[in-house]
């Protein structure tokens, strides 16, 4: 796959300039080279240098994410906003398909019937359909989706390749991320605390896609 950025020369110079500014202002950090490429893309998407210290990477996270993408893994997201931000062309070049079940009629009906949440039931549906196996799971909005993913791994034997846990919010957001970090055997990328969001999940996935392209060179 060729360089996926699909930019004009001016657009690329602006992005490269932004990354130079981020590198200069961020100063020293504890991230490895690949992890820093992910982190600085998050900072680029948010203009928030707090993510320099909030980002946490399982030792195998970047490698697992690149390998999964290059194998054409499913990409499971909690909300359609992430789907809208992702490049279908970039993912399609590897054969990756994005799945989001949160607005499915059966998911909504089950959530209402059991006083659950749509996010929980969407993850359960994904597991029933086998979508979680070898998938990259990206949660940017719903802490309950991340907590359910953790439960499915712990109790039901789900085996995603990588979980990106960056839900934003005040109720269970920070706690859901800590629960994910507690699964030490599961590759994960996490933004600790309350900060997060769909745009951050998108930034992380795009960073992994760019790293996967470089891995082919």
Q: In sequence order, which ranges of the chain are alpha helices (DSSP H)?
A: 9-26, 33-46, 51-54, 61-70, 80-85, 88-92, 105-114, 118-128, 143-156, 173-181, 198-216
Containing 164, the helix (H) or strand (E) segment is strand 162-165
Question: What is the sign of the dihedral through the CA atoms of 134, 204, 56 and 99?
Answer: negative
CA pair distance 114, 8, nearest whole angstrom: 51
Q: How far apart are the first and last CA of the chain?
A: 9
Joined together, the tokens standing for residue 99 give: 């799945």
DSSP state of 139: E
Q: How far is CA 161 from CA 16, 65, 90, 111, in A?
A: 30, 7, 19, 27
Q: Which residues are catalytic?
A: 44
Q: Residue 133: CB partners within 8 Å, gap ≥ 6?
A: 158, 159, 160
Q: With contact defined as beta carbons under 8 Å apart, do 193 and 174 qualify?
A: yes
């Amino acid at each position: 796959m060729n360089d996926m950025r699909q930019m004009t020369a001016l657009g690329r110079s602006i992005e490269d300039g932004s990354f130079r500014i981020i590198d200069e202002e961020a100063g020293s950090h504890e991230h490895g080279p690949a992890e820093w490429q992910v982190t600085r893309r998050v900072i680029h998407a948010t203009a928030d240098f707090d993510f320099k210290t909030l980002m946490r990477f399982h030792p195998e996270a970047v490698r697992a994410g690149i390998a999964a993408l290059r194998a054409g893994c499913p990409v499971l997201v909690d909300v359609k906003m992430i789907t809208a931000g992702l490049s279908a062309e970039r993912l399609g070049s590897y054969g990756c398909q994005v799945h989001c079940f949160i607005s499915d009629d059966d998911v909504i009906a089950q959530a209402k019937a059991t006083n659950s949440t749509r996010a929980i039931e969407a993850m359960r549906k994904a597991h029933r359909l086998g979508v979680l196996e070898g998938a990259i799971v990206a949660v940017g909005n719903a802490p309950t989706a991340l907590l359910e993913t953790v439960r499915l791994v712990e109790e039901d034997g789900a085996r995603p390749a990588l979980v990106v846990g960056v839900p934003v919010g005040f109720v269970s957001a920070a706690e859901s991320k800590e629960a994910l970090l507690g699964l030490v055997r599961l590759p994960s990328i996490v933004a600790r605390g309350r900060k997060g969001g769909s745009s951050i999940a998108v930034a992380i996935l795009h960073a992994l896609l760019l790293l996967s392209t470089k891995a082919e060179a």
